[in-house]
Amino acid sequence: MLDRTPSEPLLSVDSLTVSFRTEHGLITAVDKVSFAIRPGELVSLVGESGSGKSLTSLAVMGLITDPNAILTGSIRYKGRELVGLSRHKLQAVRGNEIAMIFQDPMSAMTPVYTIGWQIAEQLRAHRKLTKKQARTRAIELLAEMGMPSPEVQVDRYPHQLSGGMRQRAMIAMALSCDPSLLIADEPTTALDVTVQAQILRLIEQLQRNHGSAVILVTHDMGVVAEVADRVMVMYAGRIVEEGPKEPVFMHPGHPYTEGLLRSIPPMHGVRPHRLIAIPGAPPSPANRPPGCRFSPRCAYRYEPCGIDPPLFRKEQQDIACYRAEALLEPVGVQRP
């Protein structure tokens, strides 16, 4: 287990908002999201489609390039503000200090270059290495990722590898410059379950060995339970619950977290006759309900839910729900 003594956060995101100008007016996809990542911890950002989890991670990397996107708030990495940083300075951070891996390594790698070439390219962008040194390092990295005969694989093209091997190459590339923070956006979603298990184990090992902090973006509560230290649950553009994995899974504070956990068919024990599903569907960013965004689907809904709930602190969990209010003190600022 990791040391939980409070330390200077590696990354602190404050009131991050991402909106898009569209024909139908301004649509806010990520809405005043705040969180902090400490060095070396593995935090999972979990949510369903349209929750804004992927956009949040792209925003941290400065990868939202849509000219119609508006990004406000603050993203501080090692105390340095990344929002509004010049392109040139941002390039020195990306891939070097913060690295990212994506869901589908097939489309995320340039098809016309070998994986060794692509890893060497990143190394040489941030380190003073000769081509030969970069290649040697690429082979070492591939070996570390558990790739068999890396000196052969280094010269293969992405399409010549299996899905699992491609994702290993992608991770090798991301870790090539020893980043302090790795953002993994659904890294195992496109993989088969037996290969997913291999990749999850690899990410765990690497986090331990390299000491990088990891933000694991996923929709799969099983994956979260398997590897995360801490969980942030997103729903409709907001973080609705945040806390260490154990309490969040054992005593989920937000009705959405609870519903999400309950709707998964069990792998062991009694098989329920019916699953406990959450009624309705997650709202699209364009039609989010007022007040608590989850209230139309919530079984515990009552009057105050028409107004946005602030985050309440319950021991180690932060919960955006009035149900917690009776017992708890609000933390943070009331949302307008």
- 181-220 residues in contact with another protein (CB under 8 A) are 192-198, 200-201, 219-220
Quote the least distance from Cβ 335 to another protein, whole Å.
24
307: which 2 tokens? 């107004």
Kindly identify the residues of this chain, within the stretch 309-328, that bind another protein according to CB under 8 A: none
Residue 133: how many other CB atoms lie within 10 Å: 14
- C-alpha angle 319-264-320 in degrees, rounded to nearest 5: 10
Quote the DSSP letter at residue 183.
Answer: E
Quote the least distance from Cβ 122 to another protein, whole Å.
4
Please give the Cα distance from 163 to 264 (Å, whole number): 26
Beta bridge partners of 110: none
Quote the least distance from Cβ 48 to another protein, whole Å.
4
Write the binding mask 246 to 285 for another protein: x where contact by CB under 8 A, - elsewhere. Answer: x--xx--------xxx-xxxxxx--xxxxxxxxx-xx---
Quote the least distance from Cβ 110 to another protein, whole Å.
4
Q: Of 99 and 320, which CB lies nearer to another protein in the complex structure?
A: 99
- Candidates 9, 40, 52, 164; binder of another protein (CB under 8 A) is 164
Quote the least distance from Cβ 109 to another protein, whole Å.
6
Q: Of 32 and 94, which CB lies nearer to another protein in the complex structure?
A: 94
119: which 2 tokens? 């890893």
Amino acid at 105: P
- Candidates 24, 128, 132, 159; binder of another protein (CB under 8 A) is 159
Q: Of 104 and 325, which CB lies nearer to another protein in the complex structure?
A: 104
Q: Of 31 and 229, which CB lies nearer to another protein in the complex structure?
A: 229
Kindly identify the residues of this chain, within the stretch 92-151, that bind another protein according to CB under 8 A: 92-96, 99-100, 102, 104, 107-112, 121-122, 125-126, 148
Kindly identify the residues of this chain, within the stretch 43-102, that bind another protein according to CB under 8 A: 48-49, 61, 63, 65, 67, 87, 91-96, 99-100, 102
**Crossing angle of helices 131-144 and 115-126, rounded to 10°:** 120
**DSSP-derived secondary structure for 250-264:** HS--SHHHHHHHHTS
Q: Kindly report the backbone phi and psi dihedral angles of residue 154, in degrees, each rounded to the nearest multiple of 5, phi listed first.
A: -60, -25
Judging by beta carbons within 10 Å of its beta carbon (0-12, 13-18, 19+), is residue 309 exposed, middle or buried?
Answer: buried
Beta bridge partners of 70: 19
Q: Of 132 and 268, which CB lies nearer to another protein in the complex structure?
A: 268
Residue 152: how many other CB atoms lie within 10 Å: 11
Quote the least distance from Cβ 329 to another protein, whole Å.
26
Q: Of 15 and 80, which CB lies nearer to another protein in the complex structure?
A: 80
Beta bridge partners of 214: 42, 182
Please give the Cα distance from 127 to 147 (Å, whole number): 24
Q: Using CB under 8 A, which of the segments 36-44, 242-250, 313-321, 327-335 binds another protein?
A: 242-250
Size of the site for another protein (CB under 8 A): 78
Compute the Cα dihedral for 96, 35, 222, 276 and give only its sign: negative
Q: Of 32 and 228, which CB lies nearer to another protein in the complex structure?
A: 228
Classify strands 213-218 and 25-37 as parallel, antiparallel or unpaired: unpaired
Kindly identify the residues of this chain, within the stretch 10-39, that bind another protein according to CB under 8 A: none
Q: Of 102 and 322, which CB lies nearer to another protein in the complex structure?
A: 102
Compute the Cα dihedral for 61, 67, 70, 74 and give only its sign: positive
